[in-house]
Chains A and B, each alone.
Chain A
Amino acid sequence: MNSRVWAVGASAAATVAAALVLIVVTTAQRRYERAFAFRMAGTTAAYIAAVTPPPPPPAPPPPPPRRRAGLRGRRQTPPPQPPPAPSSLSSAARSYDLPSLLTQARALSTLPGWSSDVEVYFGTAPLVDATAPPLSPDDLQHLAAGGRWRNGVALVPVKDRDGQEVVGAVAVQPRPAPHGPLPGGFGFVFPAAILAVGAAATIAFREHSLRRGGYVGAALLLALAGYLDVRAAARQSTDRWLVDTRRLLQEAATRLPPPRTRVAITDLASMVRGGEIVAGEPGESAPRRVRIDGELRAVVAVLIGSGRWIELRSVPAEAEASTWLILLVPCALLGPMAIGALRWAERTPARNRRETALAWGFLAPAALHLMIFTIGPAIYAIYLATLADFRALLRDPLTWNSFVTSGAYTLYVPISVALALGAALAVHRYKRKGSRLYRAAFLLPYVSSVVAAALLWQAIYGAGSLGLGRADWLSNPNTALLALMLVSIWVHVGGQMLVFLAGLDVIPQAYFDAALVDGAGAWRRFRRVTLPLLRPVTWFVFLTGVISALQMFTLVFVLTQGGPSPLHATDVVVHRIYRTAFGPQAFGMASALALMLAVVLLVFRWPQLALLRRQARHA
């Protein structure tokens, strides 16, 4: 009976995991559809702007009759139809000629081969389907902010020719497209989900009839199927845009307003923001993927006149689709994990189960924090950094400079460790005579804010006080790094001394007594007894010191900004990462640099962990 309960639980866990994967896939598909709709709407808005002429400058006699004829049935008052648009004459030249706009909009809605429904608004009034509701004030607000997604419709603004005011809008509603290659438009993920749940149920109810790893395989298959579907959706969104935009371009080539007899590529290029247009050769009608200068591009050939071909290019959306694996794989693995937990619970006595649950309860906040703020970003950084980033970094002299600078900066650590050890020995020796005061004096810089310390030293260096004499310590490239190292020593000695003191306090007095009685002098006692007994502590202080020195950012950021400027004299690695990420927004490069630093840190972290393990074993 117990095992039946377990089997039900395992099947439920697998079902939940499969459902989660389905939800992720559906969400991703919606996202891509939405992205397509927005992109298409943007392109359409640009198209409209390009093909519609401005209104005729003088007060025109009556507007062209034939155009209004189409509307007469519905609208009684012809002259100033749209309320807000032609309000100011000065901006009229920047606006669009309404009758032509109407023509263009109508033409759009009947464009053959389009995969979306389109509506164009002038002011708030719909032009294609005049009975449709006008734009709400809420819509207008969103349009001013760049656009909105409403009930499966992407709404983007149409701006005047200067790109200043919103004079209308384009709404694009993609028609539903099949979501997968399987019959009925199903994706791979549905059969995979059924397979995974089935496998879990089979394993659970028939106990050991299948290997337990079988379900992990099924779960990974599920994740893979989900990924394939997401990728297909991404590809589809790019392809739809390419094909629909091709249609627009061909239309534009015939409709661009008069003075241009032969359409220049540049005129068309302004329409396809987020893509590019180059002169092309005859090609097949289906979109393709090609490598251009090492970068993958989605391309389609467009015929824009007799014998004139151009090529429309875009970054394929599926290039980024693997990001979804970050969600898909954990969701899929939730099933095996839950089943593993259930199996463990089944085998383990209730008491141990409670203890383990309790332990995890205590660990959960820390574990969660670690997952979200440490492991997650680390994985994301690995994902962001590409090989090209590493190659670029290795070629960049600033990278090497930053590592050399960090290395040089780290040299303060042995000095501060030695000073801290000396101070600790002194305080330890004169334990009884006001050592609390010493401790407090040494500790104060360590516990105060680094920024505060930096500002204090900025003032000291700036004034050349404390007998420093000159005032250019931080601005002179020869001394800037040294000045930073001095501040670091000042900041760190106290904390390191405290660790040494704690280390000295746990050494049994008998060692020192024995050395005294055995006739060792002060120096020999230090060299032969104290120092070896403090070795683990010294290593700990040294390694943590080096690690924190390699991670140093605040001092540089506050005091020198990596300068004195052209020389990058204090441009340490973390500062370089910061500059790379938030200067040119090169997050890939920044991540790559961070990973390089992580490798260096690992070299120091590894012995530190070994040290801690050894201490834990001895404790």
Chain B
Amino acid sequence: MASVTLRRLSKVFDGGVQALHPLDLDVRDGELLVLLGPSGSGKTTVLRCIAGLEEPTTGDVVIGERIVTHAPPADRDVAMVFQSPALYPHLTVRENIAFPLEMRGVSDAQIARRVLEAVARLGLQAVLDRAPEKLSEGERQRAALGRAIVRGPQAFLFDEPLSRLDATLRIELRGELLALHRALGATMIYVTHDQTEAMTMGQRIAVLHEGRLRQVGTPEEVYQRPADVHVARFVGTPGMNVLHGRGRGTGEGERVIEAGSLSIPIELSSYEGELQVGIRPEFVDLCAVDKGVGNADVLVVEPLGSETLVHLNTGGQPLVARLPGFADVRVGTRVGVKVDRRRLYLFDAAGAPLA
């Protein structure tokens, strides 16, 4: 196992699209790091640069102690699992898993032993000699996993391996992946756009947005202390509410932020001018009209059982409130809005956090 380090890595594609702005990332030996970002954020490009499937425009890829920036994929000793299982349809499960070993000239006896080991770990013994098309979705993705672990590589790269599976299977395999990580103690870089997956799996999460690395931190850090407005919006289900507003003093020593139809009192020193105020849906509550920091119209009500999401319109800006249980809110009515003032996040107009 080895650490993976990216130094000032950037990528400009042939058409001139800057997929990645220079970024530094240090994945520790044995760590499971999740690269999180919406589609088009450049997370897969990072992974392909590490694997050697793309050559970075600038910067270096370091695996362990070796700079492998220009080494072919075969020489990097990493394993990759793709969104589609990419099992060769003309080979059986056994042959598919044996393929990387065979390519490396491992002896037949070794291959047989290691394939059986990998298969036992993944519970694929029963389907060993089947063709991929005869497997279930889950078995296929497990077999792809087997092809990755059989080699014992320096690092594992996962490119949204669960995104094509249905919800139940995804949760099941997520658990297995975590167990595998614990058992192997392997360095893993896991790309996903699903922030739930990121929160549950990552020891650390690296958030990418528009080709820039926005924040690297534990799930808690990323959730509690988002580095900028993009991270705040992206992490959490639903993400943080971000209202555009303006801070001003009222002349009586009080300061408020006026955002849409809301007027939120604050206790910050730097408040003047354009800013953005963030608040997680769970810290938004509803009350009678004119009793809160402002009023809003109810647009959509989503009862989910354990909670109810209420989508509001506050003077042209959307706001989501998360209420416990089945809340008695009707679409089209006007309600008052309360916010937990201690849970406000303030960002400047460009999205950087205010002190």
Q: Which of A513, A516, A528, A533 interacts with B99 by CB under 8 Å? A: A528
Q: List B contacts of A510 (CB < 8 A).
A: 82-84, 86
Q: How far is the CA of A514 from the CA of B52 in the complex (A)?
A: 11
Q: How far is the CA of A480 from the CA of B157 in the complex (A)?
A: 59
Contact A511 B74 (CB under 8 A): no
Q: Which of A432, A513, A519, A521 interacts with B86 by CB under 8 Å? A: A513
Q: Which of B74, B88, B89 interacts with A516 by CB under 8 Å? A: B74
If the complex has contacts A517-B51, A520-B74, A533-B89, are A508 and B84 also in contact, measured as CB distance less than 8 A? yes
Q: How far is the CA of A59 from the CA of B224 in the complex (A)?
A: 138
Q: Which of A511, A517, A520, A521 interacts with B80 by CB under 8 Å? A: A517
Contact B14 A516 (CB under 8 A): no
Count of chain B residues with a beta carbon within 8 Å of a chain A beta carbon: 26
If the complex has contacts A508-B84, A510-B83, A519-B73, are A432 and B14 also in contact, measured as CB distance less than 8 A? yes
Count of chain A residues with a beta carbon within 8 Å of a chain B beta carbon: 19
* Chain B residues at the A interface, C-beta cutoff of 8 Å: 14, 48, 51-53, 72-74, 78-80, 82-84, 86, 88-91, 99-100, 103-104, 147, 151, 157
Q: List A contacts of B86 (CB < 8 A).
A: 508, 510-511, 513-514
Contact A532 B53 (CB under 8 A): no
Contact B103 A513 (CB under 8 A): no
Q: Does A535 contact B (CB under 8 A)?
A: yes
Q: List B contacts of A532 (CB < 8 A).
A: 88-91
- Among B84, B86, B89, B100, max chain A CB count under 10 A is at B86
Q: How far is the CA of A519 from the CA of B147 in the complex (A)?
A: 12
Q: Does A337 contact B (CB under 8 A)?
A: no
Given contacts A514-B86, A517-B79, 17 further A-B contacts (CB under 8 A): A510-B82, A510-B83, A513-B86, A514-B82, A515-B103, A516-B72, A516-B73, A517-B78, A517-B80, A519-B73, A519-B74, A519-B104, A520-B99, A528-B88, A532-B88, A532-B89, A533-B90
Nearest CB in chain B to that of A513: its residue:
B53
Nearest CB in chain A to that of B86: its residue:
A510
Contact B100 A516 (CB under 8 A): no
Q: How far is the CA of A532 from the CA of B91 in the complex (A)?
A: 9
Q: List A contacts of B99 (CB < 8 A).
A: 515, 518, 520, 528
Q: Does A273 contact B (CB under 8 A)?
A: no
Q: Which 4 A-B pairs have the closest CB atoms?
A: A519-B74, A518-B100, A510-B86, A532-B90
Least CB distance from B61 to A in Å reads: 14
Q: How far is the CA of A528 from the CA of B100 in the complex (A)?
A: 12
Contact B90 A514 (CB under 8 A): no
Contact A521 B74 (CB under 8 A): yes
Q: How far is the CA of A528 from the CA of B90 in the complex (A)?
A: 9
Q: Pull 23 A–B residue pairs with CB atoms less than 8 Å apart, ordered by A.
A: A510-B82, A513-B48, A513-B80, A513-B86, A514-B82, A514-B86, A514-B147, A515-B103, A517-B52, A517-B53, A517-B73, A517-B74, A517-B80, A518-B99, A519-B74, A520-B74, A520-B99, A520-B103, A521-B74, A528-B99, A532-B90, A533-B89, A533-B90
Q: Does A354 contact B (CB under 8 A)?
A: no
Q: List B contacts of A516 (CB < 8 A).
A: 51-53, 72-74
Q: Does A524 contact B (CB under 8 A)?
A: yes
Q: How far is the CA of A521 from the CA of B52 in the complex (A)?
A: 14
Least CB distance from B82 to A in Å reads: 4
Q: Does A529 contact B (CB under 8 A)?
A: yes
Contact B82 A518 (CB under 8 A): no
If the complex has contacts A513-B80, A516-B53, are A524 and B88 also in contact, measured as CB distance less than 8 A? no
Contacts between chains A and B (CB distance < 8 A), count? 65
If the complex has contacts A432-B14, A519-B74, A529-B88, are A514 and B103 also in contact, measured as CB distance less than 8 A? no
Least CB distance from A509 to B in Å reads: 9
Q: How far is the CA of A521 from the CA of B73 in the complex (A)?
A: 10
- Among A516, A519, A532, max chain B CB count under 10 A is at A519
Q: How far is the CA of A511 from the CA of B104 in the complex (A)?
A: 18
Q: Interface of chain A, helix or strand or loop or mixed?
A: helix
Nearest CB in chain B to that of A508: its residue:
B84
Q: How far is the CA of A519 from the CA of B151 in the complex (A)?
A: 11
Least CB distance from B102 to A in Å reads: 8
Q: Mark A522-540, 1 if CB is under 8 A from B, else 0.
A: 0010001100110100000
Q: How far is the CA of A510 from the CA of B151 in the complex (A)?
A: 19
Q: Which of B14, B48, B103 interacts with A518 by CB under 8 Å? A: B103
Nearest CB in chain A to that of B80: its residue:
A517
Nearest CB in chain B to that of A520: its residue:
B103
Q: How far is the CA of A520 from the CA of B80 in the complex (A)?
A: 14
Q: How far is the CA of A524 from the CA of B82 in the complex (A)?
A: 20
**Residues of A471-520 whose CB lies within 8 A of B:** 508, 510-511, 513-520
Least CB distance from A527 to B in Å reads: 11
Q: How far is the CA of A392 from the CA of B74 in the complex (A)?
A: 65
Q: How far is the CA of A521 from the CA of B103 in the complex (A)?
A: 8
Q: List A contacts of B103 (CB < 8 A).
A: 515, 518-521, 524
Contact A513 B74 (CB under 8 A): no
- Among A515, A517, A518, max chain B CB count under 10 A is at A517
**Residues of A218-250 whose CB lies within 8 A of B:** none
Q: How far is the CA of A514 from the CA of B87 in the complex (A)?
A: 9
Q: List B contacts of A529 (CB < 8 A).
A: 88
Q: List A contacts of B79 (CB < 8 A).
A: 517-518
- Among A508, A514, A529, max chain B CB count under 10 A is at A514
Q: How far is the CA of A149 from the CA of B151 in the complex (A)?
A: 92
Contact A513 B147 (CB under 8 A): no
Q: List B contacts of A508 (CB < 8 A).
A: 84, 86
Q: How far is the CA of A513 from the CA of B72 in the complex (A)?
A: 12
Q: List B contacts of A524 (CB < 8 A).
A: 103
Q: How far is the CA of A535 from the CA of B91 in the complex (A)?
A: 13
Least CB distance from A520 to B in Å reads: 5
Q: List B contacts of A521 (CB < 8 A).
A: 74, 103
Least CB distance from B140 to A in Å reads: 12
Nearest CB in chain A to that of B84: its residue:
A510
- Among B79, B88, B91, B151, max chain A CB count under 10 A is at B88
Q: How far is the CA of A457 from the CA of B107 in the complex (A)?
A: 54
- Among B73, B79, B89, max chain A CB count under 10 A is at B73
Least CB distance from B258 to A in Å reads: 51
Q: List A contacts of B52 (CB < 8 A).
A: 516-517
Contact A535 B53 (CB under 8 A): no
If the complex has contacts A511-B88, A532-B88, A535-B90, are A519 and B100 also in contact, measured as CB distance less than 8 A? yes
Q: How far is the CA of A529 from the CA of B74 in the complex (A)?
A: 15
Nearest CB in chain A to that of B15: its residue:
A432
